[in-house]
Amino acid sequence: MGAVLMRIGMLGLIGLLTGCESMPWFGQDKNPTPPTELTKLVAEVTITPRWSVRPTQGAEGRHLYLVPAFAAGRIYVADATGRVVAVDADSGKTLWQRDTGLSFSGGPALETDRLVLGTSQGELVALAAADGREQWRSRLGSEVLSVPRFTGDGLIVVHTLDDTLTGIDAATGKERWHVAYPAPVLTLRGSSTPTLTPSGVVVGLSGGKLVKLDTHDGAPLWEVVISRPSGRSELARIADIDADPLLVDHQIYVGSYHGDLAAVDVATGEVRWRRELSAYAGLATADDSLFITDSQDQVWSADLNTGAGRWKQDALRYRQLTAPTVLGQWLLVGDLEGYVHVLNQADGRLVGRIQITKKDGITARPLLVDGRLYVYAKDGTLTALTVGAMSSPKSPPPPFCKGGRRKAPLCKKGR
């Protein structure tokens, strides 16, 4: 754990001293590259807040992987002080809250009646979804900065900051297996969330490697290098995969920092295509398009089958964007000033924005459930939004003559 913290501290220092580009996650309040100023746009969509509450204290200024989770009409959120809250998804009303005193850093994840969260102290904690009562606690080797993954067969796979993957029994919290991978000297402060596939779990690691493990015993099924570290300095050699791998049909799509965007066959680990693009926030897909937030906070559209670029939106550079969320014909991303931006999926045009909080930014990808978006900001603000196409301007009412009587097509007087 001490070595991990040393790597994090070194990277934070280097990020503050380097003026060439925005460093993800580190020194966010002292970003050496100023965020692009927002310009006036012509709104083409309506963004309607259904409710907005602040049930937690959020991340307390730290970069954590705390995200909203949905199940059975409830939104669950947690904060860095150990508070977990269940909120009614329709009204925003708090249904229950539990103050655990733990320093939550990743999650929650949900399955049936149980939610699990990781902590900065390297623990995995299971709580009852009904009331937040603790069910068990398991000791891991390092901080959890990703969302634990339920596999559906009684197992939870957790990826910790030191690049250890651990299989935990969902009922008891006991360890079934663990696999440790060596981490580079310098890494980003983050870890990719394991992606479940029909034949195993896929995880991106520091150093640009993608691995697939058997969920039963943790045995490696294949390993492939997406991006090889290159450059003269340790900083330039960072090639971490922090973006969560995305499964579409039989392929895994993944992006690395200072590296490549790639499509990988989920059965064999064979790289189908690879394109140079640095990314760490995350990916999304719709139809035959892949959408990416890159490391300079530009949003891209690429062909899902070839990786060829279609459009790029650079009006939000260095605004520390979240991974995109697809909603109908639009894409939505959050930023460092609490704005949610709406982009046209076809050409990347900015068509709307709303600021849900002025106190802090948004790092969690907006959560889409049944056409409604739930956005969780770093200050603990939780907002439900709906997005719709702006209606056409209404035709002016017909004129009225003296006495208020309507005549068609025009009143004779004043014609």
Is the Cβ–Cβ distance between 121 and 143 less than 8 Å?
yes
Domains and CATH numbers, the chain: 2-389 (2.130.10.10)
Q: Which residue has the tokens 């939104």?
A: 75
Q: Which residue has the tokens 């995995």?
A: 124
Sequence-distant (6+) residues with CB within 8 A of 89 are: 70, 73, 74, 75, 369, 372, 374, 384
Q: DSSP characters for 252-274?
A: EEEEBTTSEEEEEETTT--EEEE
Q: Note the pTM of the prediction, 2 decimals.
A: 0.85
Q: Which residue has the tokens 């025009």?
A: 410
C-alpha distances (whole Å) from 3 to each of 142, 187, 189, 203, 206 are 10, 11, 13, 22, 14
Q: What is the pLDDT along the chain (415 residues), one digit of tens a residue?
A: 333 333 333 333 333 333 333 344 333 344 568 999 999 999 999 999 999 999 999 998 888 999 999 999 999 999 999 999 999 999 999 999 999 999 999 999 999 899 999 999 999 999 999 999 999 999 998 999 999 999 999 999 999 999 999 999 999 999 999 999 987 555 556 688 999 999 999 999 887 889 999 999 999 999 999 876 555 555 544 556 778 999 999 999 998 877 789 999 999 999 999 999 888 889 999 999 999 999 899 999 999 999 999 999 999 999 999 999 999 999 999 999 999 999 999 999 999 999 999 999 999 999 999 999 999 999 999 999 999 998 754 444 544 444 444 443 434 333 3
Sequence-distant (6+) residues with CB within 8 A of 14 are: 23, 186, 235
Sequence-distant (6+) residues with CB within 8 A of 184 are: 206, 207, 229, 234, 237, 238, 240
Q: DSSP characters for 285-328?
A: EETTEEEEEETTS-EEEEETTT--EEEEE-TTTTS-PPPPEEET
Is the Cβ–Cβ distance between 300 and 291 less than 8 Å?
yes
Is the Cβ–Cβ distance between 352 and 344 less than 8 Å?
no
Q: Which residue has the tokens 């003559």?
A: 401
Q: Which amino acid is at 200?
A: G
